[in-house]
Amino acid sequence: MDRHRVLFVCAGNICRSPLAEGIFRHLVAQAGRSAEFEINSAGTGGWHQGERPDRRSIAVAAGHGIDISGQRARRIEPADFGRFDLILAMDQDNLKNLRKAAPADALGRLHLFNALARGDNRDVPDPYYGDREDFEAVYTMLLAGCMALLPKVGKVLRGS
C-alpha cells in the first residue's frame, strides 16, 4: 500500500502547522488509517527550530484531546519537496515562499491548505500575536479543513 505523505507549512512551525499536523494525525488515527499516512509539519523560516509548539497551540490542542507537545519546529528542507506528496501552506505568503524554494517538478504538490481542503482561498490566520480565542478560531478552521481533506487525499493524489 502506498503511503500518502502530507506536510503542513506555516512561517515558524510553532502555531498553525503543528496544530494542523496534530489534528490531521488524530483524525487519521480515529479513522483507523494511520498506516496509510506520513504526516509532518515545517516552517518556511527557521527562527524556532528545535522548539516545542507555542504553549497556546499545545493548550488548545490538549483541550480537544490532542497532544502536540512532542513536536519540534523545523524549517522546510530541499528534500521535503521530493519526499511529500502534498505540501499545504497555511497562507498565501508561505505558499509564495514555498514556490520560490521548490524545484519545478514539485510545484504541483504545493497547495494553499483551505483551497485544497475546503475549496476557498482564505488564509489560515496566524494567531501568534493574538490570544486564546484566536488560537481556538484557528483550531476550528483547521479541524474543518482537515475533516474535509481526509477523504480527498487519495483522490487528489490520483488526479481524480
Q: What tens digit of pLDDT does each residue of 28-63 get? A: 999 999 999 999 999 999 999 999 999 999 999 999
Of all residues in the chain, the percent with pLDDT exceeding 70 is: 98
- Look at domain 4-158 and name its CATH class: alpha beta
End-to-end CA distance of the chain: 18
* Domain parsing of the chain, residue ranges: 4-158
Catalytic-labelled residue, pool 5, 15, 16, 91:
16
Active-site residue 16, yes or no? yes
Reported as a pLDDT band with limits 50, 70 and 90, residue 160 is low
| pLDDT value, residue 156 | 74
Q: Which three cell numbers stand for residue 128?
A: 501568534
33: buried, middle or exposed (CB in 10 Å: 19+, 13-18, 0-12)? middle
Nearest Cα to Cα of residue 47 among 72, 71, 74, 77 = 74
Among 54, 80, 91, 126, the active-site one is 126
Q: What is the pLDDT of residues 65-95, one digit of tens each?
A: 999 999 999 999 999 999 999 999 999 999 9
* The pLDDT value given to residue 100: 98
Please say if 83 is a catalytic residue. Answer: no
Q: Is 146 a catalytic residue?
A: no
Confidence at residue 154, expressed as pLDDT on a 0 to 100 scale: 75
Q: Are 87 and 7 in contact (CB under 8 A)?
A: yes
pLDDT of residue 16: 98
- Amino acid 136 reads E
What is residue 147's predicted lDDT score, i.e. its pLDDT? 97
